[in-house]
Amino acid sequence: MSQNTILKDLFQVIQEYAQVIQNENEKVVDFTSPKDLANIISFPVDEEGISDEAFKDLMQKYLQYSARTGHKQFMNQLFSGLNLPAFAGDVLTSINNTSMYTYEVAPVATMIENEMIGLMSSFAGYKNGEGIFVTGGSNANLIAMFSARNHAYPQTKFNGIVPNSKLKAFVSEDAHYSYENAANILGIGAHNVVKVPVDKNGSMIPSELEKALKKSKSENEIPFFVGATCGTTVRAAFDPLDKLSVICQNNKIWFHADGAFGGSLIMSPKNHHLFKGLELTDSFAWDAHKLMNIPLISSVLLVKEKGTLKFNLSDINTDYIYHENSEIEDLGKKSIQCGRRVDAAKLWFAWKYYGLKGYAEKMDHLMDLAKYAESLVEKTEKLKMFVPRQSLTVCFRYIPEFSTNLDEFNFKIRENLRLKGKSLVNVAWINKTLVIRFIISNSESQRSDIDQFFKNFMLEASELEIQMNSENLESNDKNLIPTK
């Protein structure tokens, strides 16, 4: 097996793939059942290796039968697109294969991460801030809650959590499920995460937070953490940070903002109003692998004050890794990871390539596309917005002319699109009602791509309506509906 051949074949396969995802006539996913896929690709590892030709075939099949998240008809999750400058940075990171714990083994990467943390802190309004790249938005929320717990009770870092301490965390009803996982991991318990009611737009209600905190204290519980959201998973709603920050300050509670989805919009002066009060938070999660289209994973947790992470989380010095260096701090000392991938480099390469202005324009473009998608729903007969658009997500339903179970009907439209590979969009439940959750996150998309989605959607919906109407029956395959 020749390494030169592998490299040559690899870049040929990459070029072919990049062309495929730009071709609107190509499927967004070549759906194949697990049984059929096992017949197409030999997954077991054999005793003997394989030839260069067979290896190239595996690379091609891997890309052919995977969901093409760079395709402009991929609107299924909060990440999408192909960012070639970032991809180049990812390749360089992999071939260099270093870890982020010391300047000694990662000199350029350490400088890059410090630069990225400084830049992102400036956007957050943290004048004396710091941060660390982590393994995803869920992990960022975990580290924020971890830091808040140890800030409230520093002794837990060494002695463990106090039994029956009744620690309570507060998040909105629409907050990400990772908060409950974090409470479980930290020994606080998922049931001690209090869900605060949201308004009709999906934003946390400040008066309800005050009420929940007052009730908790009256029951001799210890509120220690409030998690707001900048772009909720389903509605892409923003919590009122300025109003919530006053409540947290008055109650001396750690105030965290989860900007995993919507955080990148802060780069746009036009949309900075969404983050009013962010500078008053104690920590901020920001996923660059979402709206900035950086290859997974590129997530950051920022904190308001330097020294917070090292003091609250680790404060450990292992002499076989860390040696005194008066010129620059080793980043591993403020991370809960030892080995840590260089996730900052791909972000830096992309940001250097597009510049501050370029990324601000990308964010404005995304918001313009979301407004355009909303306008198409509003002017299209049989489509109805289910909730007002908050930022980059459009939640709507198709209403057929005849009476039917709308949850089942809309899910069937989505499934038909997915199985045919025309468009990949997701569904979500809002107040026990299933909606189509259309996400705008690929900054390379144009209005024509939005038009193509709705063309695909309306065609499938019309065909399904004609089929069901002619048969005069309602879909009764309830196994197709995902559980609430």
Q: In what order do the strands lie in the sheet with 254-259?
A: 130-134, 299-303, 283-287, 254-259, 222-229, 167-172, 193-196
Last residue of a domain, one of 302, 328, 351: 351
In order of 5, 56, 62, the CA distances from 49 in angstroms are: 15, 13, 18
297 and 154 share one domain: yes
- Residue 400 in any domain: the answer is no
The residue type found at 416 is N
Where among 351, 367, 382 does a domain terminate?
A: 351
Does residue 229 sit in the same domain as residue 181? yes
Is there a domain that residue 174 lies in?
Answer: yes
Same domain, 98 and 55: no
Same domain for 62 and 111, yes or no, is no
Q: Could you tell me the residue range of the domain that residue 332 belongs to?
A: 89-351
Q: Is residue 38 part of a domain?
A: yes
116 shares its domain with 10? no
Q: Which tens digits make up the pLDDT trace of 73-129?
A: 999 999 999 999 999 999 999 999 999 988 999 999 999 999 999 999 999 999 999
User: What φ, ψ does residue 236 adopt, rounded to 5°?
Assistant: 60, 40
CB within 8 Å of 31: residues ≥ 6 apart: 418, 419, 420, 421
Q: If you ran DSSP here, which 8-state letter would residue 292 be given?
A: T
Residue 464, in any domain of the structure: no
Q: What is the pLDDT of residue 153?
A: 86
Tell me the residue type at 440: I
Do 25 and 116 share a structural domain?
A: no
Write b or e for each residue in 62-93: b if 16 or more Cβ atoms lie within 10 A of its Cβ, otherwise e: ebbeebbbbbbbbbbebbbbbbebbbebbbeb
- Total count of residues recorded for the chain: 484
Residue 307 in domain:
yes
Residues 7 and 112 in one domain: no
The total number of structural domains in the chain stands at 2
Kindly give the parts of the chain with pLDDT less than 50: 473-475, 477
Q: Look at residue 474 in the predicted model and tell me its pLDDT.
A: 47
| In a domain? residue 478 | no
How many other β-carbons are positioned within 10 Å of the β-carbon of residue 123?
A: 18
User: Is the backbone peptide bond immediately before 297 cis, with ω within 30 degrees of 0?
Assistant: yes
On whether both 159 and 18 belong to a single domain, the answer is no
* Residues 35 and 105 grouped into a single domain: no
Residue 187 lies in a domain: yes
Residues 48 and 131 in one domain: no
Spatial distance between the Cα atoms of 69 and 293, rounded to a whole number of angstroms: 10
Work out the burial of residue 5: count CB atoms within 10 Å of its CB; fewer than 13 is exposed, 13-18 middle, 19 or more buried: middle
> What pLDDT does residue 179 have?
97
Q: pLDDT tens digits, residue range 148-182?
A: 999 988 888 888 876 667 899 999 999 999 999 99
**Residue with structure tokens 């509003």?**
378
- Examine the domain organization and report whether 50 and 103 are in the same domain: no
Residue where a domain terminates, one of 325, 351, 377: 351
User: Would you say residue 363 lies in a domain?
Assistant: no
Residues 191 and 313 in one domain: yes
Contact (Cβ atoms closer than 8 angstroms) between residue 299 and residue 260: yes
The one-letter amino acid code at 152 reads A
Helix (H) / strand (E) element for 137: namely helix 137-152
Digit-coded pLDDT (tens) for 426-463:
999 999 999 999 999 999 999 999 999 999 999 999 99
CATH number at residue 306: 3.40.640.10
